[in-house]
Amino acid sequence: MSQTPEVSIIVPNYKTPDLTKLCLRSLRKYTDPGRIRVLAVDNGSADESLAYLRKLKWITLLERDSTGEVPSEMHAKALDEAMKKVDTEYVLIIHTDTIVTDPKWLDFLLGKINAEPGIAGVGSWKLEYVPPVKVFFKKIENFFRALLGRKILDRAHYFRSHCALYRSAAVRETKGFGDYDSAGISLFNTLKENGCKLPFIPSEELCRYMTHLNHATMILNPGSGNSRTDKPSMRRKLQRRIRELHVEEILQDESLDA
């Protein structure tokens, strides 16, 4: 008897060949394939990453035309399109620049969402290690901003789509990822209004199981209008970070595509 998948994993893709390969192969390497169903959504890449996805027999590939869409709209529409195909109890949203590093990652997330009744989703605001000293000085900065009547720099937190696990039924009771400001904001707020529990996972805890190459998809696709990610120095920094992860073995292991 074949195993019934527990979790559908939605992975939007746009012109990141090596990241896409690394993301999916890390899932394959560290996950029981019978427990997951991967829905990769290509946003009109027409490049090596799409050619790679078309070769994989163990994923479900959805191809959509994203002509004229800004990145946030493209990403949210890809998630909404994939949600129509989700038939599992849980759905996980990740980026191609999210790399799984530990075989216990799925049990960890399922344990969090099933920790108590009423939890509709779990996720994080950031998925990167932030030194305590940086957190401390950020609090000091915001304290003085408030004292001077200036705007606090922190945005309202929500589950970022680099890694967020939801109960599929709860997502279907909303309008989805929809308002295209940044995928996840409207969904998170609607679930809160519906009385759902949405506990955050501390970044340092989640980082034990996966790594997020921050802004990698934007860095590898310059021209987004973001002056920070469009800098050549950011591309060099990203390439250095990938080397530090020692992922050459995964990138070279073509057996993980089978």
The pTM score is 0.83
Q: In sequence order, what are the beta bridge partners of 164?
A: 93, 123
pLDDT of 129-142, one tens digit each?
Answer: 555 555 555 556 65
Rg over alpha carbons for the chain, rounded to the nearest Å, is 18
pLDDT of 237-253, one tens digit each?
Answer: 656 666 666 677 888 89
Q: In sequence order, what are the beta bridge partners of 9?
A: 38, 92
| Residue 35: CA count within 13 A, CB half-sphere | 12
Q: In sequence order, what are the beta bridge partners of 37?
A: 8
Dihedral sign for Cα atoms in the order 34, 85, 80, 250: positive
- Domain formed by 7-127+157-214, architecture: Alpha-Beta Complex (3.90)
Amino acid letter for position 197: K
Rounded mean pLDDT of the chain?
Answer: 84
Q: Is the pLDDT of residue 53 over 60?
A: yes
pLDDT of residue 222: 44
Q: Band of the pLDDT at 212, cuts 50, 70, 90?
A: confident
pLDDT of residue 115: 98
Domain boundaries of the chain, sorted by first residue: 7-127+157-214
CA distances for 179 relative to 24, 57, 156, 202, angstroms: 28, 33, 16, 26
